[in-house]
Amino acid sequence: MAYIYKWTHLPTLKWYIGSRTAKNCHPDDGYICSSRIVKPLILESPIEWKREIIAKGYPKYIIALESQLLTELDAKNNPLSYNMHNGDGKFTTTGITLSQEWKNNISKSSLGVKKSDLSKENYKRANQQKAKDPDFVAKLKKPKPMEHGKRVSAALSGVPKSDSHRSALSVSQKITADKLRTGKTYNEIFGEQAEIIRQKISKSQKGKPCNNPIVVCPHCNKKGPSGAMNRWHFDNCKNK
């Protein structure tokens, strides 16, 4: 259900009014606001801020009501207001359907822009709040079409990784490798994602030449690439 909210800065009584009209949104979904000025201030010192829900309803009604409230309060000129507009469309895209070209331009404009530590922390806190929403988690687990993966891959192709990113990837891969060495199966490590991961690995290796030498297990006489054979045969062979 769409809603209008109001944030009040208790020490100064300055306020900010906004609306939330996203699909499946509700007043307790953890959403803070879209203001680049107000949101960091709230995250920095949440105890100084008070949140109120002014109205609930259908998106079109909420958009119209928000514009009416901001206009009546003359929010963009009010010294007690953090709002930059009166819902007139000059500083907001509320209710406007963005074209794909527009979305691409927005994406390109931020590509390669280094984020500040404060910005990174704000993103982290926002994502932690989203992770508590079961609807959001369910959406993440929903199977994505093949085209989605290709678009993500193309967007990240050639983008340099920071040293901290490389280090995190290395640690993650080492943890997975260590778990596999303990004899745990993919199902035990990855749960319901195990079969999807197997299929991805299989597809990625099809048609590629095998650089591992072919070896023969002395216990069952099966032969194959040394990597897989060493894992499942020789000392680990069922016929040993």
Q: Which domains does the chain have, with CATH numbers?
A: 2-95 (3.40.1440.10), 211-240 (no CATH)
Q: Is 112 left (phi over 0), alpha (psi -120 to 50) or beta?
A: left
Cα 121 to Cα 41, 93, 168, 190, distances in angstroms: 12, 25, 17, 28
How far apart CA 196 and CA 2 sit, in angstroms, is 36
CB proximity list for 49: less than 8 A, separation 6 or greater: 7, 8, 9, 10, 41, 42
Rounded to an integer, what distance in angstroms lies between the CA atom of residue 194 and that of residue 59? 40
* Confidence (pLDDT) at 93: 56
Q: In terms of DSSP H, where are the helices of 13-97?
A: 38-44, 59-73
C-alpha Rg value of the chain to the nearest Å:
26
Output the pTM of the full model. 0.43
* Whole-number pLDDT of residue 94: 53
Q: Give me the residue label for tokens 């099966």.
A: 222
How far apart, in whole angstroms, are the C-alpha atoms of residue 41 and residue 82? 11
- Give the H/E segment covering residue 50: strand 49-57
How confident is the prediction along the chain (240 residues), in pLDDT tens digits per residue?
899 999 999 999 999 999 998 888 999 999 999 898 999 999 999 999 999 999 999 888 888 899 899 999 999 899 999 998 887 655 555 555 667 887 788 777 777 777 778 777 877 877 787 777 777 777 777 777 777 778 888 877 877 878 888 887 787 777 766 666 666 777 777 777 778 877 887 887 777 776 778 889 988 988 888 878 888 888 888 888
Residues 145-156 as b or e (16 or more Cβ within 10 Å = b)? eeeeeeeeeeee
Six-digit token string for 193: 């994602």
Per-residue confidence (pLDDT) for residue 152, from 0 to 100: 81
Residues whose CB is less than 8 angstroms from the CB of residue 13 and which lie 6 or more positions away in sequence, other chains included? 80
| Tokens representing residue 61 in the block | 């009604």
- Summarised one tens digit per residue, pLDDT across range 88-142 is 655 555 555 667 887 788 777 777 777 778 777 877 877 787 777 777 777 777 7
Nearest C-alpha neighbor of 212 from the set 194, 227, 195, 193: 227
